[in-house]
Amino acid sequence: MAANGNGCNQNSALVRIGSRDSELAKKQTYMVRDALQKVHPKLEFEIITMKTKGDKILNLALSKIGSKSLFTKELEMALEEGQVDMVVHSLKDLPTTLPDGLVIGCVSEREDPRDAVIMHPKHTTASLASLPMDSVIGTSSVRRAAQLKRKFPNLRFESVRGNLNTRLRKLDTADDYAALILAAAGVLRMGWADRISQVIYKYCT
């Protein structure tokens, strides 16, 4: 996302890129920076990180916070105020209507669009279909929970918050969850392909 000519550092050889400060957000921002560096080798790029409201409120499910732009507002404000020249978002986090003066400058090549199942270490050979009755599956998405509950009514779907590192730690160090449902794209970009037990198709088993 970029400012539409407002507050942009247009005459400088330095381009400031805003990013959330989670490890995944920074990895995605590095990917964008590297792609831009290839086509603009004379420019310098600086990454400026910050926390958003969604990063700070971890004791509530996203659906209960009741606010739009949970993971984008602070970055949008920094862009509007000229603190950064562009920001990198996951498209799913963007509001339906962008603030006046801001535009989507480009969309990078898509990673695997599917959802992934990450099993607790004691269930590494299992699938969603083979988990015991009332096994708890962690997800931060109401959509994922609703869709999968129809397919697997014997499982319980509960909210799990935090960045990917935090959620994976919650899975591995306790028995609260039998598995997590995560975006495959994020798992792959973090280099955790070996943790994917199952990918979710329209009709998964």
pTM of this prediction exceeds 0.85:
no
Domain boundaries, the chain: 2-103, 115-200
Give the pLDDT score at 191.
Answer: 95
* Range 2-103 classified under CATH 3.40.190.10: yes
SS (H, E, C) the chain: CEECCCCCCCCCCEEEEEEECCHHHHHHHHHHHHHHHHHCCCCEEEEEEECCHHHHCCCCCHHHHCCCCCCCHHHHHHHHCCCCCEECCCHHHCCCCCCCCEECCCCCCCCCCCEEEEECHHHCCCCHHHCCCCCEEEECCHHHHHHHHHHCCCCEEEECCCCHHHHHHHHHCCCCCCEEEEEHHHHHHCCCHHHEEEEECCCCC
Give the pLDDT score at 205.
Answer: 52
pLDDT band at 202; cut points 50, 70, 90: low
Mean pLDDT, residues 73-80: 92
Q: Which residue has the higher pLDDT, 65 or 159?
A: 159
Q: In CATH, what number does 115-200 get?
A: 3.40.190.10
Mean pLDDT, residues 166-194: 95
Kindly list the catalytic residues.
93
Give the pLDDT score at 38.
Answer: 96
